[in-house]
Amino acid sequence: MSLERPWLQSYPQGVPAEIDINEFHSVSSVFDASVAKYRDRPAYSSFGKVLTYGETDALVEQFAAYLLGELQLKKGDRVALMMPNCLQYPIATFGVLRAGLTVVNVNPLYTARELKHQLVDAGVTALVVVDNFGDTVQAVIADTQVKHVITTGLGDLLGAKGVIVNFVLKYIKKMVPNYTLKGAVRFTQALKLGRRHDLPKVEIDHDDIAFLQYTGGTTGVAKGAMLTNRNLVANMQQASAWIGASGVEPGKEWIITALPLYHIFALTANGLVFMKFGGCNHLITNPRDMKGFVKELKGVRFTAITGVNTLFNGLLNTPGFDEVDFSTLKVTLGGGMAVQRSVAERWKKTTGVTLVEAYGLTETSPAACINPLTLAEYNGSIGLPIPSTDA
């Protein structure tokens, strides 16, 4: 029995009622399609360093080959990623997925107790961690089944500038504690070792688990939602169909990715949807540094931004935000928590763009409802169920 879908008559022009789930058989194949189509376009930008889709693809291949060839991981093994938004994150994510393994996203701000619970609960075999959080890993690793640790500094993929970034973080800002992880390999070394191995063809399909995405930690112990390739591909197709009807131009978008990619909202909305459109994800590593964030925004002509209410409010209250160039901005998407009307109205007044609210949950990968991006004003609603959704 199919449900009535009265909301379809309110759909923006060009948005289909159903999506094609079979266009892609895995998250990895979405990445491959974007590489084929947008090879020379910028894919990720961080601290002034830009990686094209082609360059990212080569590094993803090396990391996947390292995991399978050097570490001998087997299909379905769990690999934890514990880092903020930096170039290593997408390389590790798509490397893990290309190797047919499962990504376990870890909030780097976890306490030792929270980290231990997640690593044990997920049965993690390998872990990638940014130096800033190495001491938390050191505190718990003996009580987990993690066999392999890969460490990295935030500056490690930034070339000569990265040496300065790493030095400043450790010795001037004192943000990198001393830690010891026996047998750990550096991320850059892992990429080198990966070059020695040919990556075998790994069959990945809709039913394979792509992510163990932990959720619900605010109400008790965090639980891992099993998100298959079908779940992620479907939600990316749904959100892409919705956003694509509103003037998003393939190969021309530049999205501000300040929400952490380890969280399901940015992972799908920024990391997958805008990747499908051949956009560039401009990675903000520490959005809590609002002054630094605003300075960063002044140096880039961006077309889209996603955020939560506290992020938008923080930006609006930071001196200099009203001097940012918003002339190319088309899309502002809010989710993760309720957007306050006062914040949405100030955002529209300052940027000239409506703050459009969406609603979702980790278990739905995440979008369930999105407002039409053509809204003239913020409406205080969570929007309409997206294509192929019953509500």
Sheet holding 185-186, edge to edge: 185-186, 148-152, 124-130, 78-82, 102-105, 209-215, 223-228
HSE at residue 139, side-chain half, CA atoms within 13 A, is 14
Question: In 3-state terms, what secondary structure has residue 59?
Answer: helix
What was the pLDDT predicted at 247?
Answer: 84
HSE at residue 209, side-chain half, CA atoms within 13 A, is 17
What was the pLDDT predicted at 220?
Answer: 80
Question: What whole-number percentage of the chain has pLDDT above 90?
Answer: 95
Residue with tokens 């999506």: 19
Distance from C-alpha of 210 to C-alpha of 95, rounded to nearest angstrom: 12
What was the pLDDT predicted at 2?
Answer: 65
Q: Against a cut of 0.95, is the pTM above it? A: yes
What was the pLDDT predicted at 45?
Answer: 98
Distance from C-alpha of 242 to C-alpha of 268, rounded to nearest angstrom: 13
What was the pLDDT predicted at 245?
Answer: 84
CATH number of 22-385: 3.40.50.12780
Does residue 100 register a pLDDT over 60? Answer: yes
Residues 6+ apart with CB under 8 A from 176: 131, 132, 134, 153, 166, 169, 170
Nearest of 318, 323, 279, 286 to residue 302 by alpha carbon? 279
What was the pLDDT predicted at 1?
Answer: 53
Sheet holding 49-52, edge to edge: 49-52, 42-46, 280-283, 254-257, 304-307, 331-334, 355-360, 367-370, 384-385
- Spans of all domains in the chain: 22-385
Does residue 87 register a pLDDT over 70? Answer: yes
What was the pLDDT predicted at 221?
Answer: 85
Express each pLDDT in 165-214 by its tens digit: 999 999 999 999 999 999 999 999 999 999 999 999 999 999 999 999 99
Over range 223-240, report the average pLDDT: 97
Express each pLDDT in 33-72 by its tens digit: 999 999 999 999 999 999 999 999 999 999 999 999 999 9
Does residue 218 register a pLDDT over 90? Answer: no
What was the pLDDT predicted at 217?
Answer: 65
Judge whether 187 and 166 are in contact, CB under 8 Å: no
Over range 312-318, report the average pLDDT: 98
What was the pLDDT predicted at 119?
Answer: 98
* Alpha helices per DSSP H over the chain: 27-38, 53-65, 88-98, 112-122, 134-140, 160-167, 187-194, 229-244, 264-266, 274-276, 290-298, 309-316, 341-351
Distance from C-alpha of 162 to C-alpha of 153, rounded to nearest angstrom: 9
Judge whether 255 and 280 are in contact, CB under 8 Å: yes
Determine whether 339 is exposed, middle or buried from the number of CB atoms within 10 Å of its CB (0-12, 13-18, 19+). Answer: buried
Would you give the distance in Å from CA 106 to the centre of its chain? 12
Instruction: Decide the pairing of beta strands 42-46 and 49-52.
Output: antiparallel
Over range 341-368, report the average pLDDT: 97
308 vs 245: which has the higher pLDDT: 308
Over range 134-155, report the average pLDDT: 98
